[in-house]
Amino acid sequence: MTITASGLYVQNWVDELDATNIGFDLSLATHKLCLVNDTHAPNFDTHDAFADVTNEVSGTGWAAGGVLLSAAAAGGTSTAPTVTISPAGTLMYDMNDVAVSATTLTNAMAAIIYADALTTPIADALIILIDFVTAFSTVAGTFGIQWAAVGVFNIDMTP
């Protein structure tokens, strides 16, 4: 059991905010969401690229590398990612619920969102890992993620 919490990939967020300016624009629908099982051991300080992702879960209806946010919502529609203030003083990254039909997947313990279209300076830069806490499987069914009211993640910027 190596996934114990969700987390942002710190180095990439540092690089987003300083002169490195990697540019992973959270409104992009070209980001991908992939799945990992509980054998994956995330390191939020050192992991920065999809190449660091191990123990990926993929299968029928869910290719290796994950699904594009542009087609991961119900009916293959876009999850329409947003970055907003919600509530006051809080930055929220959110999107429509994920619902990918006709999948067969085993023991997905977490989702990782990464910037698939980015090639430089960090190719496929990691953004966030979301811990499901309990592993989920599907058998020719819908793999769904119902986001909480507080979004995919939020940062209280006026604590």
Record the tokens describing residue 119, joined without a space.
Answer: 């090639």
Residues 74-113: x where in contact with another protein by CB under 8 A, - otherwise, as a string: xxxxx-x-x-x-x-----x-x-xxxx-xx-----------
CA 54 from centroid of its chain's CA atoms: 15
Residue from 10, 28, 91, 135 that binds another protein (CB under 8 A)?
28
Q: Least distance from C-beta 73 to another protein, angstroms?
A: 7
- Indicate whether 68 belongs to the interface with another protein (CB under 8 A): yes
The backbone region for 65, taken as left when phi is positive above 0, alpha when psi lies in -120 to 50, beta otherwise, is: left
Neighbours of 30 (CB within 10 A): 12
| Nearest by Cα to 35 from 17, 74, 13, 61 | 61
- Indicate whether 12 belongs to the interface with another protein (CB under 8 A): no
- Indicate whether 137 belongs to the interface with another protein (CB under 8 A): yes
CA distance 140 to 59: 10
Residue from 71, 89, 119, 121 that binds another protein (CB under 8 A)?
71
Residue from 59, 61, 65, 141 that binds another protein (CB under 8 A)?
141
- Indicate whether 70 belongs to the interface with another protein (CB under 8 A): yes
Q: Which residues bind to another protein, rule: CB under 8 A?
A: 25, 27-30, 68-71, 73-78, 80, 82, 84, 86, 92, 94, 96-99, 101-102, 117, 136-144, 146-149
